[in-house]
Structure 1
Amino acid sequence: MATPAALPPLPFNPSRVRSYLMRLPLFTRLVLLVILAFWLLELQTIWSVVQWGSLTPDEVNLGTMYRLNTFPFIHTGFFHAALNVLALTPLLERFEAEHGTLTSIALFVGQYGFADGTFFLTALSTFPAGLYLLFEKAILHRNTPVVGASVWVFLLLGSEAIRTYKSNPHFSLGPYKIPTWTSPLIACVVLSILVSNVSFLGHLCAIAVGYLFGLGYLKIFVPPEKVLRWIESKLNLLGRLPHYISVDQKTFGRYGVLPTSNAAANANGTPMSYLATAQRVGP
């Protein structure tokens, strides 16, 4: 009797993937959960989640400013959502580990504005959305809606590129030395060439805001650590919330260990194995 052929080995170690997912910090988990929830909602045909929450220039007014915050969570299909999740997870996980959970919430989904809730301002959501609206509607006079978490992917890549540039100004590509800060721009161009129906303008706006954040120009939107410590101690967030990253934890790294050198820090470079797409839902 012939022996059945052995199955080929998996391209990844399931135990390592499970271990990595179990270590994800709180805010990263919540973002992935919301993306999943919106994708599941889009499966029904009674109400269009994309039409409700996409960043559509002609639909944005004082009564629909929520679109500036909802569009990164919404996707147009399973593969669009899956690719964005694969690209965003390691970047967002690293950001939260370095800045803390409360700071991440304030920068990505924290809300500032009028008391009646008609205006929302989050530096890492509203700013790239605002730039996109400025160029798309006011300058180009178009009305192309966009959705997708790749706005955060390219924003975080831009921020990482600026930080990497400070310690490693160039990388070699054959005989050429290319400035490190240009790597997100190169990825943006390549992705726009290889993948159809992506928002090149949306990605550029995200990279621009990422550069500003990496250069420190958006520090005004980072909550003071004294305030964060008071909130954490008052609500006992570290004791009550699993996978929560406190201000003190993020100061010394997730496990309380200070990196020994810049080289060690750079060894954990920005994952760029997956690049997401900001799906254009218009023509």
Structure 2
Amino acid sequence: MILITGATGHLGKATIQFLLAKGYPANQITALVRDEQKGAEFQKDGIKIKVGDYNDFQSLAAAFEGADKVLLISGTDVANRSKQQENVVNAAKAAGVKHILYTSFERKNETAESPMAFLAESHLHTESLIKASGLDYTILRNNLYLDALPLFIGDQFTEQGVFFAAGDTAGAFASRLDMAEATANILSGEGHESKTYLLSNTENISFPEIAGILSELTGKKVAYVSPEPAVFLDNLVKAGVPQEYTGLIAGTADAIREGEFYTDQTDLDRLLGRKPTSAKEFLTGFYKTR
């Protein structure tokens, strides 16, 4: 039995759909949801649902009963994520789960000076807990989603260009769907115990190159401007971006500029059995429908 946490999120839903598409029995998949009503769509496919909350250890321990593998999809409540995911790991142990898989992140700098330190702490804490738990484990070091690029590009790029403080440093951004498919392959396969997989693209691409792709797609010259970090952060505030997102967006730009997402190493193509979706393919598919 495979249990997917965060099942109603984009990655969780996609992973379940890939499992079904590969012929994995629906009655051997459990979706963990916080709201039982949101699990109705899974039940239509014959998937079991369990109700549980990352903040409630007892609900998790009960939900994990009978599961052999648990996919822990990292939570979005960054301030409380370390404790929440500690609950998940401990509940998996208490319920007799054999194998836990965790969606962590690609990085180079694990110190407090990292521009991603505000996100990294909970990931690193969870990885350490999992490795010390005695459970079989698989760590997935997910690179930045290609799906995040439109957020950084903005809606007015044909008129105003791309204004994003990532410099000209490239990153091996990969699509969420490719990561979900690779995750489904790991969940439904064997021999992945005590492994850490790098889920990055086989190409690194910079924002100047992304602006070039947008120019090709639109037939208009799309400029790219990389402001100083302080200027970029100030512009986010003036644009009315909510405070809880300004730090995340600015920090991600800093991380890209400092090379945190650049890598020539990946397991994604091998896990997929094909080349991952390129940035050009993703952007073409995204913008052709708009």
Question: Shared fold (TM-score greater than 0.5)?
Answer: no
TM-score when normalising by structure 1: 0.28
* Bigger helix share: 1
Higher relative contact order, structure no. (Cα contacts within 8 Å, ≥ 6 residues apart): 1
TM-score when normalising by structure 2: 0.28
* Bigger strand share: 2
